[in-house]
């Protein structure tokens, strides 16, 4: 496995992925599975963040505690990526959240960038791009390029389910970006959906399945 690709191996990941894939899992259960898997994924993807000692007073004594040394940015790709923000904020409450809006043109399968909320000025030290599905990699690359223009030094991609095609594209076009996924599925179908996948993550999260 290449260093820039980290795929989780854990029985709890397998368990919650099963609920996520099941077409009978309704909105609330689907969102809970997204939240749980996002937290497990974030736990692994943040394992090497640098910390410094910080004294803290317990009810009994003063001892060494720890604090993060970096400004962390969470960058969900609208709309499905929004569901991954809360569990990461639970782990890193001081994270900054910046939104990027993209959708896939159904006729061309190409991403369309329609919204950006990145500020002027000093960028975060590390940005986590959040999207439950890494399919063709088009939206992820667009988000990564926007973050590079902002000046972010380190960017990591977090996806619950990834396709080999999307991973290959990111490794070719931005090999410095670490990709973290719960699972790598078989392939993309002719409509560019991940197989076996879970369908449309955004529709299932927001109960908009037509």
Active site residues: 104, 108, 200, 203
Return the DSSP state at 124: P
| Helix ranges (DSSP H) in the chain | 11-21, 27-45, 85-91, 138-150, 164-173, 201-205
What are the tokens at 33? 């599975």
CB distance 162 to 179 below 8 Å:
yes
- Region of residue 115 (left: phi > 0; alpha: psi -120 to 50; beta: else): beta
- Region of residue 7 (left: phi > 0; alpha: psi -120 to 50; beta: else): beta
HSE (side-chain half, CA atoms, 13 Å) at 130: 32
């Amino acid at each position: 496995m290449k260093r820039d690709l980290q795929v989780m191996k854990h029985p709890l990941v397998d368990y919650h992925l099963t609920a996520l894939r099941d077409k009978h899992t309704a909105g609330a259960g689907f969102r809970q599975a997204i939240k749980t898997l996002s937290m497990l994924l974030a736990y692994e993807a943040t394992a090497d963040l640098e910390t410094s000692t910080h004294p803290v007073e317990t009810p009994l004594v003063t001892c060494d505690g720890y604090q993060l040394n970096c400004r962390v940015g969470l960058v969900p790709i609208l709309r499905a990526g929004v569901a991954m923000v809360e569990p990461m904020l639970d782990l890193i409450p001081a994270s900054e959240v910046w939104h990027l809006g993209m959708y896939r043109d159904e006729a061309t399968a190409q991403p369309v960038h329609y919204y950006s909320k990145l500020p002027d000025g000093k960028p975060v030290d590390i940005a986590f791009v959040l999207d439950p599905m890494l399919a063709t990699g088009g939206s992820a690359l667009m988000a990564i390029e926007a973050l590079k223009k902002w000046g972010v030094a380190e960017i990591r991609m977090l996806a619950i389910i990834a396709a080999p095609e999307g991973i290959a594209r990111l490794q070719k076009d931005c090999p410095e970006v670490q990709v973290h996924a719960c699972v790598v599925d078989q392939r993309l179908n002719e409509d560019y959906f991940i197989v076996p996948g879970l369908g449309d993550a955004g529709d299932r999260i927001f109960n908009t399945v037509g």
